[in-house]
């Protein structure tokens, strides 16, 4: 059996909180031996379309998007063809289904505002795929996601949630065949791997993200807390 690694959660400069050019993502993904990637920019598929256009290698490109719901929750759409309009869970869900895409609940247990808590029981019952390993989650947040998925017989995928090229591939999904990727996910014939990135890396990326989205307050607050910590 072949082991084809795909990073199914990557942000490019088409996201409001990432600076990474598509060319850099393509080059780095190929360099570290990934077989494919999904570009999942916030609320747009432009990055994925651009990656498809620019890609000259055998790297498989999946067009995706991480869509923000009305209530602040997030859904990951994979294998998209058209832009998804933001809205409620079911408005987004229906649009992804219409274009034969896959619906994934990303980082369900990440820190205070848990994505899973944004969904009602009924909405949650429509989710069949969970991001069980996300490189920006802590190991315990990932463990909770994996346990939840196993308990509810859901399919688990992995993705890095990279907002910087250096973390691409740190979490991934493993396919056994390059054909019918969607089918392999739907049938649960995939596995996953990777790990949480370290704190230093997370801090650097946190600052980058907030710079890009011009959220300077967050950076100042963060540095202020760091200084206080040192004075203690
Ligand atoms: Zn993301």
- Taking the C-alpha atoms of residue 5 and residue 22, their distance in angstroms, rounded to an integer, is 19
Read off the tokens for 214.
């011009």
Instruction: Say which residue, 211 or 158, is predicted with more confidence.
Output: 158
What is the whole-number distance in angstroms between the Cα of residue 74 and the centre of ligand 1?
A: 9
What is the whole-number distance in angstroms between the Cα of residue 124 and the centre of ligand 1?
A: 19
Same domain? 186 vs 203: no
Q: Read out DSSP for 27-67? A: HHHHHTT-SEEEEEEET--HHHHHHHHH--SS-EEEEEEEE
> Quick check: 169 and 34 in contact, CB under 8 A?
yes
Same domain? 26 vs 104: yes
Same domain? 206 vs 106: no
What is the whole-number distance in angstroms between the Cα of residue 52 and the centre of ligand 1?
A: 19
| pLDDT over 90, % of the chain | 79
What is the whole-number distance in angstroms between the Cα of residue 161 and the centre of ligand 1?
A: 5
Same domain? 45 vs 148: yes
136: domain CATH number? 3.20.20.140
What is the whole-number distance in angstroms between the Cα of residue 220 and the centre of ligand 1?
A: 23
CA distances from 140 to 43, 66, 104 (A): 28, 23, 20
Same domain? 94 vs 207: no
Which domain covers residue 185, as residue numbers? 4-197
What is the whole-number distance in angstroms between the Cα of residue 10 and the centre of ligand 1?
A: 7
What is the whole-number distance in angstroms between the Cα of residue 66 and the centre of ligand 1?
A: 6
Query: Residue 40 has what pLDDT?
Result: 98
- How large is the angle between the packed helices 46-54 and 22-31, nearest 10 degrees? 60
pLDDT digits (tens, 9 = 90+) for 97-124: 999 999 999 999 998 779 999 999 999 9
Query: Residue 220 has what pLDDT?
Result: 82
What is the whole-number distance in angstroms between the Cα of residue 188 and the centre of ligand 1?
A: 22
What is the whole-number distance in angstroms between the Cα of residue 130 and the centre of ligand 1?
A: 13
Query: Residue 2 has what pLDDT?
Result: 66
What is the whole-number distance in angstroms between the Cα of residue 169 and the centre of ligand 1?
A: 14
What is the whole-number distance in angstroms between the Cα of residue 107 and the centre of ligand 1?
A: 8
What is the whole-number distance in angstroms between the Cα of residue 232 and the centre of ligand 1?
A: 34
Query: Residue 208 has what pLDDT?
Result: 80
Residue 226, pLDDT > 80, answer no
Mean pLDDT for 17-39 is 96
Instruction: Say which residue, 29 or 206, is predicted with more confidence.
Output: 29
Count structural domains, the chain. 2
Residue 202, pLDDT > 80, answer no
Query: Residue 200 has what pLDDT?
Result: 79
Same domain? 183 vs 208: no
Same domain? 210 vs 155: no
Same domain? 113 vs 213: no
Nearest alpha carbon to residue 74 among 108, 102, 101: 108
pLDDT digits (tens, 9 = 90+) for 29-88: 999 999 999 999 999 999 999 999 999 999 999 999 999 999 999 999 999 999 999 999
> Quick check: 75 and 50 in contact, CB under 8 A?
no
Please report which confidence band the pLDDT of residue 207 belongs to, taking 50, 70 and 90 as the band edges: confident
Same domain? 211 vs 188: no
Residue 1, pLDDT > 60, answer no
> Quick check: 36 and 181 in contact, CB under 8 A?
yes
Same domain? 122 vs 219: no
Query: Residue 214 has what pLDDT?
Result: 84
What is the whole-number distance in angstroms between the Cα of residue 184 and the centre of ligand 1?
A: 22
What is the whole-number distance in angstroms between the Cα of residue 189 and the centre of ligand 1?
A: 24
Same domain? 178 vs 63: yes
What is the whole-number distance in angstroms between the Cα of residue 126 and the centre of ligand 1?
A: 21
What is the whole-number distance in angstroms between the Cα of residue 230 and the centre of ligand 1?
A: 31
pLDDT digits (tens, 9 = 90+) for 133-192: 999 999 999 999 999 999 999 999 999 999 999 999 999 999 999 999 999 999 999 999
Same domain? 211 vs 184: no
């Amino acid at each position: 059996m072949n082991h084809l690694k795909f990073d199914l959660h990557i942000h490019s400069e088409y996201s409001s909180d990432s600076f990474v050019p598509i060319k850099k993502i393509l080059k780095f993904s190929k360099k570290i031996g990934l077989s494919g990637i999904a570009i999942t920019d916030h609320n747009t598929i432009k990055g994925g379309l651009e990656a498809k256009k620019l890609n000259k290698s055998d790297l498989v490109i999946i067009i995706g998007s991480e869509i923000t719901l009305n209530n602040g929750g997030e859904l990951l759409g994979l294998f998209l063809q058209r832009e998804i309009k933001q809205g409620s869970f079911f408005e987004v869900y229906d649009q992804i289904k219409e274009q034969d895409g896959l619906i994934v609940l990303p980082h369900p247990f990440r820190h205070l505002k848990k994505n899973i808590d944004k969904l009602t029981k009924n909405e949650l019952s429509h989710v069949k795929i969970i991001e069980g390993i996300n490189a920006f989650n802590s190991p315990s947040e990932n463990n909770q996601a994996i346990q939840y998925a196993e308990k509810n017989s859901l399919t688990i995928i992995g993705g890095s949630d990279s907002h910087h090229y250096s973390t691409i591939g740190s979490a991934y999904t493993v396919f056994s065949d390059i054909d019918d990727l969607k089918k392999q996910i739907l049938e649960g014939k995939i596995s996953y791997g990777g790990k949480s990135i370290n704190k230093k890396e997370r801090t650097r990326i946190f600052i980058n993200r907030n710079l890009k989205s011009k959220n300077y307050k967050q950076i100042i607050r963060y540095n202020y807390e760091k200084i206080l910590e040192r004075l203690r």
